[in-house]
Chain A
């Protein structure tokens, strides 16, 4: 049973529940107190000791149900076997057939005998043993299903069975047919066992792989079904950035005496320093003004960018967002009030999907919101700088750059294409502090991380 518990803990890790050694010890202690009789109590015990949040509880509950719902090995083989049995006995009036098969069975390998005798428990035990021998719990990716099935069957002695089957086909075709059916059933069962193991142990690894691929996929070209996963990934990135940057701002430099303030504070005691005042280093709170192109192919990148920047509340609480294609509007309130999906839909319905006009949009910004930019502000422009050959109004961008702390341009297009066709990137780039490509989630994370880091 201990072995089973260890396997369950591995499965729990696979399900994304973080289980430290100390927690597994606690779980073991708790289990030794409640025992194994009542599965419901056992389940509750694991939920109490291992899971640390509601999400983890859900994942662990599913994992528990999956783990302890044993694959029922002979379930699918049994009906057709009994059927073939029936037809055999009814059709074959000569009892010599049965008798000879009994004799034959003596010469067969253990696996063949087990299959023919339809001993379900023995088969289940054999599969479990073979799974252990093939270290099935190491399975990680779905591509490994074939190899693990093969290993399990090897460990069960499929080689010998194949020989038996060849011999029987020559000597006793009826029995061979029965055996063949049983073997097919066995293959199915092993396949199910492996699939279940993959579900149990491989989930986290599969997810990591998927996230890794997703992280490096161009945001503009991901498929609709991946959008939800991408949102989850962006939230994860936001959490990481929050953890990294929200703490250190609290840290204030101490150790230097502020002489002036100390003297002033202690004036009442004739300048004897009872109360000391220390120098503090004031850190700027990040102030961000984001201008996002929401036309055509840039729209999706803007979507994820806005989601990311607005889920960084603890780190940057002062964000003003603007969206533009033909003209420019402020979208901060929409993003604050609504769910990401609804907010994006509303923004799109207001300004989206037009042909972009950078010059006009920058003019709109200068007219309406130029005073939002202070010397502490980082201005982020996200767009491909393709202005459809209209006047780019780079002079406005220059004025923005002069007013602000930094001007960062994020361009989803590759550097190779900057400046070709109607791209105004080189002209804008002269006024930007930083220009970087930003097409994947990973690049997005780096870009935002760098921007926030300048305020630390």
Chain B
């Protein structure tokens, strides 16, 4: 990023991500650029399978940073996300150091003196050595910075959100026994959400809000091109056109980008040269994950294929 002009930097982000096989729209690239410039986390929302998690991976690969992932689930708490004391190690050390302690305190005549001497050693057992860092703390301790992916934040409890607020706004956490741990290099934080529940305003306020929807046809073709290089251009155009037609239906789960890529792979594997009714019918279960959806799409297949192949010729 030698060029400091913003437009050029945003393009640099775009091409950098493209080199990792992630075709980003301009809005995504702007978000990634801004998150670095004004040091803010990105909250990515969107339907499943549009590449929210992939975005974090691509950024990490592009910048050559480590990626630390925290998968959220119901009941996730401080001890699993932030840090935990190594109780067993503490216990073991007290056992081993018993004699040593005896020596150190040997000179003391009374219990009071022994206590005073002990105090001068400080909190040996509540120090950095005995902290087991969990993903959030690990992310702060990376000297070269890292990409911290907090995946599916909407699956966690509302209380967990509040825990994140400090780390998101100031890149620091407070451990009561140790004090505040600040990030050595501010990590790039990506939060993803499937909008299963509404996130709190406090969390949203601290993030750049990026919504990734289904991509436009042109963009999706480029994504397929980069992910499944073996597919011919005509078939690619046809199949993406077909999927866009499918997405106009009222289905339980619309096929997203990951399904498109899977389907492209399947078509390549079956050595299909163009879409026909037979092959679509046989492979529809790659695209649609519910029996009811497949049934709903069934009667429309012929018209969709016809539309898509027309696009393949003229589009």
Residues of A within 8 A of B (CB): 20, 22-23, 26, 29-30, 33-35, 37-38, 40-41, 44-45, 47-49, 51-54, 57
Contact = CB atoms under 8 A, between A and B. Distances in A.
A48 B7 contact: no
Nearest to B28: A44
Contacts of A29: 38
A47 B204 contact: no
Contact of A37 (B7, B210, B211): B7
Chain A interface SS verdict (over half): helix
Interface string B142-178: 0000000000000000000000000000000000000
Given A34-B30, A34-B34, A41 B208 contact: no
Given A22-B205, A44-B31, A51-B209, 9 more contacts: A20-B205, A30-B34, A33-B34, A35-B5, A41-B30, A48-B209, A49-B34, A52-B205, A54-B45
Contact of A26 (B30, B31, B40, B45): B40
A332 B224 CA distance: 46
B38 A48 contact: no
6 contacts: A30-B34, A30-B37, A34-B30, A37-B7, A48-B27, A54-B45
B52 to A, nearest CB: 15
A333 B26 CA distance: 45
A245 to B, nearest CB: 16
Contacts of A51: 209
B210 A33 contact: no
Contacts, number: 57
> Among the interface residues A33, A34, A48, which one has the most CB atoms of the partner chain B within 10 A?
A48
Interface of B: 5-7, 10, 26-27, 30-31, 33-34, 37-38, 40, 45, 201, 204-205, 208-211
Contacts of B205: 20, 22-23, 52
B211 A54 contact: yes
B214 to A, nearest CB: 13
A57 B208 CA distance: 12
B4 to A, nearest CB: 10
A48 B26 contact: no
B40 A35 contact: no
Contact of A44 (B27, B40, B201): B27
Interface centre among A20, A26, A44, A53 (most CB of B within 10 A): A44
B10 A41 contact: yes
B34 A38 contact: no
Nearest to B208: A48
A315 B290 CA distance: 30
B8 to A, nearest CB: 11
B7 A45 contact: no
B273 to A, nearest CB: 38
Contacts of B208: 48-49
Contact of A45 (B34, B45, B211): B34
B26 A40 contact: yes
A244 to B, nearest CB: 15
A44 B7 contact: no
A45 B40 CA distance: 13
Nearest to B27: A44
B209 A41 contact: no
Contacts of A41: 6-7, 10, 26, 30
A23 B205 CA distance: 7
B6 A57 contact: no
B117 to A, nearest CB: 33
A37 B5 CA distance: 10
A40 B205 CA distance: 23
A393 B121 CA distance: 85
Contacts of A54: 45, 211
A34 B209 contact: no
Contacts of B40: 26
Contacts of A30: 34, 37-38
B7 A38 contact: yes
Contacts of A33: 6, 34, 37-38
A143 B204 CA distance: 37
A453 B38 CA distance: 45
A421 to B, nearest CB: 47
Nearest to B30: A44
A45 B208 CA distance: 9
A57 B211 contact: yes
Contacts of B10: 34, 41
A49 to B, nearest CB: 6
B203 to A, nearest CB: 10
B226 to A, nearest CB: 22
A347 B176 CA distance: 60
A147 B256 CA distance: 53
B194 to A, nearest CB: 13
Given A26-B38, A33-B37, A38-B7, A48 B201 contact: no
Contacts of A35: 5-6
A442 B38 CA distance: 45
